[in-house]
Chain A
Amino acid sequence: MLKIMNRRGLNWVIPTVIGGSLLLALPWFGRAYYTHIFILIFLNIILAMGYRLLYVTGLVSFCHVTFYAIGAYTSAILAMKLGLPFGICFLGGGIAAAAAAAFLILVTSKARGAYFFLISFSFLGVMNTVFMQWRSVTGGASGITSIPPIISGFDTVVNNYYIFFAFTILTIFIMYLLDRSRFGSELMAIGEAEDLAEVIGIDVLRHRMVAAAIGALFAGFAGSLFAHYESFIAPTSFPMWTTIYILSWCVIGGVRKFWGPIVGAVLMTAISEYGRMMGAMHAIFYAAVLLAVIMAMPNGIVGLVDTLRTRFGRRQYLGGDTKLGAGPPPVVDE
C-alpha cells in the first residue's frame, strides 16, 4: 500500500480514479445533450489515436475519415442486407477498413510527404464518389436509414455512453501497450529517420502497412459504433472536414506524444461544441485557436508542457519516445 502511495503513485492514481468516476457518473447528473457530446468526444479520441500511428512513421494521410466511413458502411450493410448480429458487423467494419488501409499503403509505397498526402486526398474523393454512386449497396446520397442499435432493447443514450466509454478505455490501453512496445519504438524510429531505420533492419513498408491497418481497424470500429448509435449514415456523415479535424487534433495536442491526440481531441471538440452557442463566430473562434496553437506551439500542447517541465521542473529523463537506453538525454526542442 505504502509503495503505491509514494509521490509517483499519487500523481497518477488519484486523478485517474477521480476522473474515471466522474466520467462514469456523468450520465446521471448531466443533461442528455452533454452525454451525447461525450460520446462524440470518445469517438474523436479513438479516431485521433488511430491516426497518430501512421502519422508518427512520417506518412500524413488525408483519408482517415474514409476508413471510418468504410467501417460504418460495411457494418451497416452487413446488418441491413444480411441481418448479422452487431458483433460480427463490428468486426467486419474494422477488418474492411484495415484491409483498405493496408492496400492503400502497399500500392502507394513509393510516395512520400506531400505526395502521399495528396494520394490519400484523392482516395478520399474516389471513395466518396463510390459511396454516392453505388446506390444499390450504399443508398447513394440518401444513405442507409434505420440501422439496428448496438444492443437491441438497450438503445438509450446512457447505455450507449457506457459502451463508447468502455471501448475508448480499451483503445487507449491497447494503444498505450503498442506505444511502449518494441513495435511502437520502431514506428517512431521510422518517422525520425527512415533510411537509418531501414539500415538497422526495420522493414519500413511492412511497419507502415501494419500501423495503417491498426489505425484503420480502430477507425472502422469507431465507424461501426457510430453507424449503430446514430442509426443513419450518408456520405454527408463523413465530410472531408472530419479528416481535417482529426489532423488538427493530433497536431494541436502534439502528435509525437502519446497523450497529445487525446488532449487535442478533447479540447478541440469541447471548444467546437461550446462554440456552437456563439453562433456565427464559432468557426472563426475555432480557426483562431487552431492558428494560434500551430504558430506558437509547433510540438503541440503536450509537447510544450513536457518542454516546460524539463526546463523548470526536476531534471528527468524524457523516456518513452526512445529505447536506446543510457546516453545523453534526447533534445527536447525538435
Chain B
Amino acid sequence: MTAQLIINGLVLSLTIALMSAGMTLIFGILRVVNFAHGEFYMFGAVIAFFAMNRAGMGYVEASIMAIATVGLLGWVANRLVFRRFHGKLIEGCIAAIALSIGFQQVGWMIFGPHQQILTSPLTGSVEIFGAIVTMDRLLIIGVALVVILGLAWFINSTKMGKAMRAVQQDSEAALTLGISVNRVAGLTFGIATALAALAGTLVGTVYTVYPTMGMLPLTFAFIVIIVGGMGSVMGAFIAAFIIGFQHSLTSTFWGPQFALGLSLGLAMLMLIFRPRGLMGHA
C-alpha cells in the first residue's frame, strides 16, 4: 500500500515537474504565463500517436520526432507571438489563451474526439517492495528523472544556462553584457515546449490521449509554479513533489474529487502568506 502510494505519487510528481519546469522557465524569461502549455503537451502525444499508428514508427522514434516537432513549434510560437509580449503580463496571457483555443481546435480536427492510447514499448510488471509496478510507469519515472537532472545540470553549469539565469534576473542588464535576449527566449521556449511534449508522450502510454488532455496538467503546472515560486526551476521541482504526493495521498484517503480542490487551496494559502513561493524572488 505505502509502496504503491509512493510509486503513484512519483509518476504524477515527475510528469508535472516536466510541465511546470517549462512554464516557470518561460515565466522567468518572458514574464508571460503560457496558457497554451497544455496544448504543447497534447501535441506531443498526438504527433507521437500519428507517427506510431500511421507511419508505423516505434515508440522511441515517434516520441523523439514529436518532441523535436513540438520544440520547433514552440520556437516558432515565440518568434511570431510571445516575443512581442515580453513583460506584458495580461496581454501575453490573452495571446496565449488565444493560441490555446486555436491549438485545441486543431487537435480536435486532426485527432477527433476519441480517446486513444500510445502503446508502450515495455510491457509486464515488476514487484518492488510489495507494490506491483507496471513497466510503463517505471519508464516514466526513469526517463523523467534523467531529463530533470539533465535540465538542472544544463541550467546550472552550461554557458547557455547561465545566460538564461542572467536574462531571468535582469533582461536589460543581460543585454548590455552581450547576451541576445531574443535568442535566449527562443531557446527557452523550444526547451520548455519540448519538455511538455515529452511529458505528453510519456503520460500517453499510461493514460489516454485526447484533444483536451492538456487542461489538467496545465492546472497542475499553475499550482506548482505558485507554490514553488514563479521563475524558479528548483522551486518548481520541489513543489511538483509536494503537490504530486499531496494529490496521490488525498486521492487514496479522501477520494480523487477533493484532490485538486485541496491543491488549489494550498496554492491560495501560499499566495496569501508567502506570495513569492518556496524559492521565488520577490
A, B assembled together = yes
A-side residues, CB < 8 A to B, are: 60, 107-108, 110-111, 113-115, 117-119, 121-123, 125-126, 128-130, 132-133, 244, 247-248, 251, 280-284, 286-288, 290-291, 294-295, 298
Identify which of residues 89-115 in chain B touch chain A, using a CB-to-CB cut-off of 8 Å: 89-91, 93-95, 97-99, 101-102, 104-106, 108-109
Is there an interface contact between B95 and A125, defined as CB atoms closer than 8 Å? no
Is there an interface contact between A248 and B257, defined as CB atoms closer than 8 Å? no
Q: Which residues of B contact A132 (CB under 8 A)?
A: 257
Is there an interface contact between B97 and A248, defined as CB atoms closer than 8 Å? yes
Rounded to whole Å, the gap between the CB of B128 and the closest CB of chain A is 33
Q: Which residues of A contact B97 (CB under 8 A)?
A: 244, 247-248, 290
Could you list 7 examples of A-B contacts with CB < 8 Å?
Answer: A125-B264, A248-B97, A282-B105, A283-B102, A291-B98, A291-B99, A294-B95
Is there an interface contact between B101 and A287, defined as CB atoms closer than 8 Å? yes
Residue ID in chain A nearest B101 by CB atoms:
A287
Rounded to whole Å, the gap between the CB of A24 and the closest CB of chain B is 34
Residue ID in chain B nearest A118 by CB atoms:
B226
Q: Which residues of B contact A247 (CB under 8 A)?
A: 90, 93-94, 97
**Interface-lining segment among B133-141, B190-198, B268-276:** B268-276
Of B88, B109, B258, which one neighbours A129 at CB under 8 angstroms? B258
Bitwise interface map of B from 245 to 282 toward A, beta carbon under 8 Å scored 1, else 0? 00000000000011011001101100110010000000
Residue ID in chain B nearest A255 by CB atoms:
B90
Identify which of residues 190-233 in chain B touch chain A, using a CB-to-CB cut-off of 8 Å: 219, 222-223, 225-226, 230
**Distance of A111 Cα from B267 Cα, bound (Å):** 13
- B14 within 8 A of partner (CB): no
Q: Which residues of A contact B126 (CB under 8 A)?
A: none
**Distance of A247 Cα from B33 Cα, bound (Å):** 15
Rounded to whole Å, the gap between the CB of A298 and the closest CB of chain B is 6
Of A244, A248, A283, which one neighbours B104 at CB under 8 angstroms? A283
Taking A282-B105, A291-B98 as given, write out 7 further A-B residue pairs in contact, using a Cβ cutoff of 8 Å, ordered by the A residue number.
A60-B90, A110-B275, A114-B27, A114-B31, A126-B261, A133-B257, A283-B102
Given contacts A114-B230, A117-B33, A287-B102, contact A295 B219 (CB under 8 A): no
Is there an interface contact between B271 and A108, defined as CB atoms closer than 8 Å? yes
**Distance of A123 Cα from B264 Cα, bound (Å):** 7
**Distance of A111 Cα from B99 Cα, bound (Å):** 27
Residue from B88, B109, B271 having most chain A Cβ neighbours under 10 A: B271
- B60 within 8 A of partner (CB): no
The main secondary structure of chain A at its interface with chain B is: helix
Residue ID in chain A nearest B223 by CB atoms:
A122
- B84 within 8 A of partner (CB): yes
Is there an interface contact between A129 and B261, defined as CB atoms closer than 8 Å? yes
**Distance of A6 Cα from B216 Cα, bound (Å):** 59
Rounded to whole Å, the gap between the CB of A326 and the closest CB of chain B is 32
Residue ID in chain B nearest A128 by CB atoms:
B261
Of A117, A130, A287, A290, which one neighbours B261 at CB under 8 angstroms? A130
**Distance of A114 Cα from B84 Cα, bound (Å):** 18
**Distance of A282 Cα from B102 Cα, bound (Å):** 9
Q: Which residues of A contact B268 (CB under 8 A)?
A: 119, 122-123, 126
Q: Which residues of A contact B88 (CB under 8 A)?
A: 298
Is there an interface contact between B275 and A111, defined as CB atoms closer than 8 Å? yes
- B175 within 8 A of partner (CB): no
Of A108, A280, A281, A298, which one neighbours B91 at CB under 8 angstroms? A298
Is there an interface contact between A122 and B102, defined as CB atoms closer than 8 Å? no
Is there an interface contact between A284 and B271, defined as CB atoms closer than 8 Å? no
Rounded to whole Å, the gap between the CB of A304 and the closest CB of chain B is 14
Q: Which residues of B contact A298 (CB under 8 A)?
A: 88, 91
**Distance of A126 Cα from B219 Cα, bound (Å):** 12
Is there an interface contact between A284 and B275, defined as CB atoms closer than 8 Å? no
**Distance of A110 Cα from B94 Cα, bound (Å):** 24
Is there an interface contact between A248 and B275, defined as CB atoms closer than 8 Å? no
Given contacts A111-B272, A114-B33, A284-B106, contact A294 B98 (CB under 8 A): yes
**Distance of A222 Cα from B204 Cα, bound (Å):** 41
Is there an interface contact between A251 and B94, defined as CB atoms closer than 8 Å? yes
Of A115, A128, A130, which one neighbours B275 at CB under 8 angstroms? A115
Is there an interface contact between B226 and A133, defined as CB atoms closer than 8 Å? no
Residue from A122, A126, A133, A287 having most chain B Cβ neighbours under 10 A: A122
